[in-house]
Amino acid sequence: MENSIKFLLVEDEVINAMLMKMQLEKTGYKVTHHVTTGENAIISSKQNPPDIILMDIRLAGEIDGIEAAEIIKSQSNIPIIFITGYDDLTIRKRAEKLNPLEYLIKPLVIDKLKTIIDAYFIKPDNIFCG
C-alpha cells in the first residue's frame, strides 16, 4: 500500500533508525528525514514539515525528545508519537503533558503503529489530502 504520509524519524541509535525506516517504508509510509538529536528535530520540522514525527525520548545532544517535542508543539501542530526503550512513569508523565498521539515502548510493533497512524489520518476532522 502506497500513501504519502511523511515522517520525521528522530532516533539516535542508527541500527534502530534503519530498522524503523525499513519497516515504515515497507508499510508504505515515507520517511523524509532522519535526525539523531532534539535540536535537529526542531530544525528539520521547521524546514521540511512532516505530517507526523516519530520521536525517541532519550537522544544524543543537549535536549531530549520531550523537550524537542515541546518546542515543536509550540511552533506547529504536527502530531508526535513518542517511542522509548524505557517504561519509566516519570518520563511517561512528562511526555503525556504534551498530548502525544501515542507513547510506545520499543521494540516498535509496526502493525500497532500503522493502526494508530491510519486512525489519526482518517478522522473526519483530520482528513489527510497528502
* Residues 19-64 pLDDT 10s: 999 999 998 899 999 999 999 999 999 999 999 999 999 999 999 9
Would you kindly state where each structural domain of the chain is located, as residue ranges? Answer: 6-126
Q: How far apart are CA 119 and CA 128, in angstroms?
A: 11
The pLDDT value recorded for residue 108 is 84
CA distance 100 to 92: 11
Helices and strands (DSSP H and E) totals, the chain: 5, 5
Mean of per-residue pLDDT scores for the chain: 91
Per-residue DSSP letter, 26: H
Q: What three-state secondary structure class fits 18?
A: helix
Would strands 30-35 and 80-84 be described as parallel, antiparallel, or unpaired?
A: unpaired
Provide the whole-model pTM.
Answer: 0.90
- CATH number given to 6-126: 3.40.50.2300
Q: What is the pLDDT of residue 1?
A: 44
Report whether pLDDT(2) > 80.
no
